[in-house]
Chains A and B, each alone.
Chain A
C-alpha cells in the first residue's frame, strides 16, 4: 500500500503534465485527422459523419484546388511573413544592441515604449493604423500589411534579443579585443555567434506572429488577402478541407524546425559528454 502511494507521489506530476499535453495537442490532432477526410457534400469540414473518417489523400494531392485563391493567399502570407521577419529582425536586433550597449538620451523611455505594441489590444492597433494610413493617404495593400506586421514584430524581436545580449559577459568582448580583434572582428567572431540563437528564435517568432495575424491585417489589407483572411472568408461558406492539409503542413514544418534544433543540441552535449 505504501508503495502505491509512494508511486503516486512520485509520478502524479507527470500524469498532470500528460493531461495538459493532450489538452494542447488534441485540436492539432483533429486538424491532422480532417486533412485526410473526404467530407460529405452536404456537410462542412467541421464534422465527421456517422460512419467516421472517409480516408483520402485528395486534400494533400490537390492541395490548391479547394478554392480559387487559397494557394494565392498562402503565397501572399508567406511573402509578407518573410519580408516582415527580415525587416523586423534586423531593426529589432539593432535596437536591442543600442539599448543594452549604449547609454543615450531617452534610453529608459525607449525600454518602456518598446513594450507598448505588445500591450496594446490588436484591434485598437489595427484600427488606429488604418486611420493613420487613410489620413496619410497611403494606399492599402501588400505594403501596408508589411508595415503593420513589421511594427508589431519588432517588439518581440527586441525583447528576445535583449534578453540574450544582457546575459552576455562583456569581458568576452574585452578578451577578443585584447586578442587583436578589431571592433568589427569582435562583433563577427564573438558577439554575433553568441547572440545568434536569440536572433534565430526572434525571427521564428516574428514569422509565426506575422503568418498568424488576422485582426491587424484585416484593417490594413485593402484588397489583398492573406491566408488567415482567406480562411475567415471561406468560413462563411464552409472551409475547404485543403485548409486542414495546409495547417497540418505548417505544423509539421514548425515541428521539424524545433525538433532539428533540439536534436542538434542534444547531440552536441552527448558528444561533449563522451569525448
Chain B
C-alpha cells in the first residue's frame, strides 16, 4: 500500500482545511482479545466536512465511530477534537453526538422530551430549551409530532427524531452509524438528500458510517474505504471511483474489469502494459506502479463494444458476446475475451444502433485515459462484492 497517498495528506489537500481544527485520529488501534478491529488508523477529518467511512460489515468502521463517541476506548493511539485530546474522555464529557443505527430513542419519553434530553443534561436554561427543541423539530419537519411517542412514528420519522436529538446539541462532530440502514430504498434516497441539506444548513462536521457505496458517494465530500481495520483509500468520491488505489476499492465501489497484467516500465507519458499477450498503454498519471505484476482496470461504463473499426489510439480486445441484458438506461453485456475471462460492458441506450445479440463477434475498446493500473499485490482476492 506504499503507493497510496497518506490519508492525512490526501484529506487536507482535498479540502484545503488547516490540520488544527476538526477531528484527528493518530495511530488508533482497537483489539478485542486477539481480534484487531481497528489497525493503526490515522486520519484527519476537517471541520465542517461530510466524511463517510465506507466498508463491509466487520471492517472496523463502527468500532472507529464508537471510539470517537467514547463508547469504546482505543487500545492504543490518540483522538483529538479541535486540538483537545478526548481519547480517554467519557461519552458524556465529549462534544460529540451520535445517531444510532437503531435510533435508540427513549420509548418512555415524547418526541419533545427526547430532543430536549441532551440540553437538559447540560443544564441549559428551561426557557432556552423549548424554542431550541421546536426549531430543531421544524428543521427535520416534525413540528407537529412533539407530543407523540417514538412507537407512534414511522421508521423515517424516528430516524429524523434521532437526528434532531443529536443535532440540537450543536456537537462539534455528529456521528451517524448506518442511520439509513433500516429504511426502505425510496425513503433512504429521500433521507440522503435531506441529511445532505441539513449538513449544509448547520455546517457541522458529519462522520457517516455506511456499507452502502452509493450512499457514501452521493452524500460525502470525503470517503474513506475501510477494509480489515485499515483505510484502503481516502479521498473525494470521484477520485476514489475514477482512480482506485487497490483492487479491493475498485470492486467495492462499483464494478471493475481487472485484467491480470505485467507493467513493463514507462514509455513516454504512458506505462506500457502486457496482458494475455497483448500490449496496452495506461497514462503514467493513472498508474500506481510502473513495473511488476499489475491489474489493468477499466470500469464497465468506460468500455465500448463495436463490430466496426476501433477509433485511433484506443486499446482493444476482441471477444464474443455471451450475455446481453437490457436494463432500460443501458444494455449490459458480458464479452468473453480470448483468454476466457468475461468483461462487463455497460453501453448506454442513447438510441444509436440496436442491442447486440449473444454470439456476436465484437471488439471491446477503451480510451487509455479511462483505464487505471494497480499493483497486483493489493489483494484482489479480498475484494468483496458491493452490497
Contact = CB atoms under 8 A, between A and B. Distances in A.
Contacts of A193: 108
B169 A169 contact: no
B111 to A, nearest CB: 11
A181 B152 CA distance: 25
Interface string A192-207: 0110000000000000
Interface stretch (B115-123, B241-249, B313-321): B115-123
A47 interface: no
Interface stretch (B22-30, B98-106, B211-219): B98-106
Q: How large is the interface on A (under 10, 10 to 19, 20 to 34, 35 or more residues)?
A: 10 to 19
B90 interface: yes
Contact of B98 (A178, A181, A189): A178
B149 interface: yes
Interface string A176-192: 11111110010001100
A169 B149 contact: no
Interface residues of B, number: 28
A171 B107 contact: no
Nearest to A272: B152
Given A176-B117, A272-B148, A169 B102 contact: yes
Contacts of B91: 174, 177-178
B276 interface: no
B165 interface: yes
Majority SS of interface residues in chain A?
helix
B170 interface: no
A6 to B, nearest CB: 36
Contacts of A190: 106
Nearest to B123: A180
Contacts of B147: 275
B148 A175 contact: no
B152 A179 contact: no
B163 interface: no
B121 A185 contact: yes
Contact of B149 (A171, A172, A185, A272): A272
B69 A179 contact: no
Report which residue of A172, A174, A176, A180 has the largest number of chain B beta carbons within 10 angstroms of its beta carbon.
Answer: A180
Contact of A180 (B108, B121, B149, B152): B121
Report which residue of B121, B149, B152 has the largest number of chain A beta carbons within 10 angstroms of its beta carbon.
Answer: B121
Contacts of A194: 107-108
A179 B97 contact: yes
Contact of A172 (B104, B122, B169): B104
Contacts of B148: 272, 275
B202 interface: no
A177 B104 contact: no
A178 B70 CA distance: 8
Nearest to B115: A179
A178 B71 contact: yes
A174 B104 contact: yes
A185 B117 CA distance: 11
A180 B122 contact: yes
Interface string A261-275: 000000000001001
Contacts of A176: 106, 117
Interface of B: 69-71, 90-92, 96-98, 100, 102, 104-108, 117-118, 121-122, 147-149, 151-152, 165-166, 169
Closest 7 CB pairs of A and B: A179-B118, A175-B104, A180-B121, A171-B104, A177-B91, A181-B121, A180-B92
Given A172-B104, A174-B104, A179-B92, 9 more contacts: A169-B104, A174-B100, A175-B100, A175-B106, A181-B92, A181-B117, A182-B92, A272-B151, A275-B147
Interface of A: 169, 171-172, 174-182, 185, 189-190, 193-194, 272, 275
29 contacts: A169-B102, A169-B104, A171-B100, A171-B102, A172-B104, A174-B100, A175-B104, A176-B117, A177-B70, A177-B71, A177-B90, A178-B70, A178-B91, A178-B97, A178-B166, A179-B121, A179-B166, A180-B92, A180-B122, A181-B121, A182-B121, A185-B121, A189-B117, A193-B108, A194-B108, A272-B149, A272-B152, A275-B147, A275-B148
